[in-house]
Amino acid sequence: MNDHDPNCIFCKIIAGQIPSRKVYEDDELLAFHDIAPWAPVHFLMVPKRHIASMAQLTEADQALMGRMMVLAPRLALEQGCRPYPEGGFRIVVNTGAEGGQEVHHLHLHVMGGPRPWLKG
Ligand code: 5GP
Ligand code: ZN
């Protein structure tokens, strides 16, 4: 079981060893504001269990990933994204070096708010 990686920065945030500005928490998910936002709204959603990236997902993770995708729109609105279709949000999941992943604990970037944004 690769539940917690003591060298992983997001596992440390989940464990409360590194502070974060929480957006949402339940027994299997945590959402918190990105420390270096690219957009007026920019938070990260992570499974509490250490999964390095989307490349490690198995069929057993289908419900977990489904929950994240269904929860994201609700949290985006709560964090100030305007409603679809004028508003909306962008979800990005960088995976691996060529996918631009820097922190190797699976995370969804949820970004939104009035443009222009710093990136994208
Ligand atoms: P990646 O490039 O891996 O998709 O994105 C990692 C994201 O994690 C970056 O947007 C970065 O700003 C964010 N990040 C890195 N370290 C921390 C931290 O200690 N706290 C928070 N809240 N975000 C972090
Ligand atoms: Zn981790």
pLDDT at 120 (0 to 100): 77
pLDDT at 1 (0 to 100): 43
Residues 87-108 have pLDDT tens digits of 999 999 999 999 999 999 999 9
pLDDT at 110 (0 to 100): 98
Ligand 1: list residues with CB < 6 Å: 9, 18, 20, 32-36, 94, 100-103
From CA 60, how far away is CA 63, in angstroms rounded? Answer: 7
pLDDT at 2 (0 to 100): 53
pLDDT at 74 (0 to 100): 98
pLDDT-flagged residues of the chain (< 50): 1
Q: How far is the CA of 64 from the centre of ligand 2 (A)?
A: 16
Q: How far is the CA of 11 from the centre of ligand 1 (A)?
A: 12
Cα torsion through 42, 46, 48, 50, rounded to 10: -130
Candidates 24, 34, 94, 109: which one to mutate for ligand 1, based on the most atoms within 8 Å of Cβ? 34
Mention every residue, 6+ apart, whose C-beta is less than 8 A from residue 112: 39, 40, 41, 76, 79, 80, 81, 82, 87, 88, 89, 90
Which ligand has the shortest distance to the CA of 4? 2
Instruction: Kindly report the protein residue whose alpha carbon is nearest to atom 16 of ligand 1.
Output: 35
Say whether pTM exceeds 0.95.
yes
As a whole-number percent, the residues of the chain with pLDDT over 70 amount to 98
Mention every residue, 6+ apart, whose C-beta is less than 8 A from residue 41: 76, 79, 80, 81, 89, 110, 111, 112, 113
